[in-house]
Amino acid sequence: MENKLVCNCKKVYMSDIEKAVYATNNITDLEKKFEEVQKITKCSTGCGGCHDKIMDIIADFMNA
């Protein structure tokens, strides 16, 4: 998987999201997982334009 920039405002890459997802493995609810990833990476705290993209990425990692 390509390590592309996902959140332009906070310069968060796909690998940053992946690390954050696996750092919080005890959470199975997507919205709570997003909140934890957001705390770790600060993604989607600027303009919010990447929110849906990040939710999709987290869901993919959780289902892998």
2-30 pLDDT, tens digit per residue, is 899 999 999 999 999 999 998 987 778 89
pLDDT for 1 beyond 70: no
pLDDT in tens, 21-56: 989 877 788 999 999 999 999 999 999 999 999 999
pLDDT of residue 40: 96
pLDDT for 64 beyond 90: no
Q: Where are the domains of the chain?
A: 5-63
How many CA within 13 A on the CB side of residue 43?
A: 30
3-state SS assignment for residue 9 = coil
Classify domain 5-63 by CATH number: 1.10.10.1100
